[in-house]
Amino acid sequence: MNRRRFLLLLSFLEGGSVMACELIGAKLMAPFFGTSLYVWASVLALTLGGLTIGYFLGGKLSRKYNGNTNILYWVLVLASLLLILMPWSSHFVMSKAINLSLEAGAILSLSVFLLPPLVFMGMVSPLIINLLTDDATDAGNNAGNVYAISTLGGILFTFLMGFYVIPNFGLHRPALACGLVLMALPVWQLIKSNFKNSLTIILILLFSFLNQNTGNSYNKEYKVLYQSEGILGQVKVVDHPSYEFTKDAIPGRALIVNNTLQTFVGLKNNYKYSIWNWSQYFPTAASIFPKGSKVLLLGLGGGTIVKQLNTLGFDVDVVEIDKRIGEISFDFFGLNRETNLIIDDARHYIKTCGKKYDIVIYDTFLSESVPEHLLTIEGFENVKKILKKDGMIMSNFYGYFKDLNGRAARSVYKTFLESGFKVDLLATPGKESTRNLIFLASHSQKDFSKTNYSEPNYNKIDNLYDFFIDPRFVNLDDAVILSDYKPQLSKLYNSAAREWKKNYNNYYRKYFMTE
């Protein structure tokens, strides 16, 4: 391979590594700071910031070390090592920054583990352009070729990492693999050039980085049965006592997404019933419909709600965006494999399914992240088309309803009303920070005095109306109507998201993490 093609190949690999670094960095953030718009904005800003610094420094180096290929190779080696180090360095800094605000913690963490490798990657293009350019008249053409090849590598790696590598192999192995691929050719060239001690230095650095412990240290009670990274972020299945949820801390099995409990079922009842008492309010409200009713459940979790709906004799379709969640529910939570599970985005399915449902249930929430595209006036118009005349929408939401933290829920309430629905709002017992809200929306007022549902581990709810929020005391003056054309829900929910994420992270640090 001639020198020009070799340098363009390095540019291609560098461009791909930039996007791999960005995607891996964003997913590494998820267990600590979530996957909200604020996190992605921080990732994008720090990516551009790192490349900007790198472009500037690369230009300086290309002028100072004009024509020196070893400088390029060492820059690529250091970028590779920092990429390999990311899973360790990210865990270290985020565990220290977790008690900061969402924005400050995200920016500080990314500055430590994402910014450095991107700075070195940013240096690569100016150095390659310098090495390719012997005549000033060729500078523009060489720059265009380098940035085009680099961008092409970024495009291909983005598809490869996003659609295949991360969903199937997680984050640690792809970080290692990308680092080794980016490092291989520069290392070979340094060794070939008899650059003194190159091999020794590289092997020492690589061994020390690979020897770092990227895993968590758990207490003995915390038994991890499954862990992977993918579309939703980090997913774990864990057996542990139910601290703070039951008086006797009975053993339970948890589905944990980004350090947030999504499902928590008792081991003694064969994973059928939830340890959380709030979970029985959903099937209790749904029990006013007759057996055989057609139900669409958006969001699977560990499958608890599916089992409850099956107990009521309903015909259930489930839509889940992450294929892993379905397999986890079947393998670890005893969900019947005959369940009609559709892997799709919830709103896409709503717009394309062509079916009619008696009940549509929204349960697609991840602590700091709300399904903004589902809870808009346009989204509700889509649901109307698949909802039967006497049908009902049930939407899970976070417990805050008063003051600043509750403005997001009040805006969802107002958007339901603007869409022409009659709305009842059910608040499960407990403080706002620990309870759930359930929106019950329909075209005609429903009678919830004839509910009929019970679970062996909880007393039957005799009067569901005891848990309804009186609409006379609902003030919607500062609430907004949510729309596709002006996304606001994530912003409105930001203050509440901080509290939810902080509470969950503190919970796991308190009970399960060892220092």
Tens digit of each residue's pLDDT (9 = 90 or more) over 371-396: 778 899 999 999 999 999 999 999 99
pLDDT of residue 515: 46
Q: Is 513 domain-assigned? A: no
Cβ atoms of 466 and 429 closer than 8 Å: no
pLDDT of residue 293: 97
423 by DSSP, 3-state: which?
strand
Q: How many CB atoms lie within 10 A of CB 31?
A: 25
Residues of the domain holding 379? 273-507
pLDDT of residue 199: 60
Q: Which residues pair with 386 in a beta bridge?
A: none
Nearest CA-CA partner of 85 in 63, 114, 111: 114
Are both 327 and 433 inside the same structural domain? yes
Q: Is 227 domain-assigned? A: no
User: Into how many domains does the chain fold?
Assistant: 2
pLDDT of residue 119: 97
As a whole number of angstroms, the distance between CA 35 and CA 369 comes to 7
Q: Is 51 domain-assigned? A: yes
As a whole number of angstroms, the distance between CA 371 and CA 362 comes to 9
Are both 138 and 283 inside the same structural domain? no
Q: Is 8 domain-assigned? A: yes
Positions of the chain with pLDDT under 50: 214, 514-515
Q: Is 45 domain-assigned? A: yes
pLDDT of residue 3: 86
Structure tokens, 452: 């009929």
Domain boundary among 168, 186, 210: 210
Q: Is 246 domain-assigned? A: no
Q: Is 285 domain-assigned? A: yes
Q: Which residues pair with 359 in a beta bridge?
A: 295, 392
Are both 331 and 182 inside the same structural domain? no
Are both 205 and 296 inside the same structural domain? no
Q: How many CB atoms lie within 10 A of CB 478?
A: 12
Q: Is 224 domain-assigned? A: no
CATH code of the domain in which 318 resides? 3.40.50.150
Are both 425 and 499 inside the same structural domain? yes
pLDDT of residue 351: 92
**Contacts within 8 Å (CB) and 24+ apart, 344-347:** 344/319, 345/319, 345/321, 346/298, 346/299, 346/319, 346/321, 346/371, 346/374, 347/373, 347/374, 347/379, 347/382
Structure tokens, 128: 């390659």
pTM, entire model? 0.79
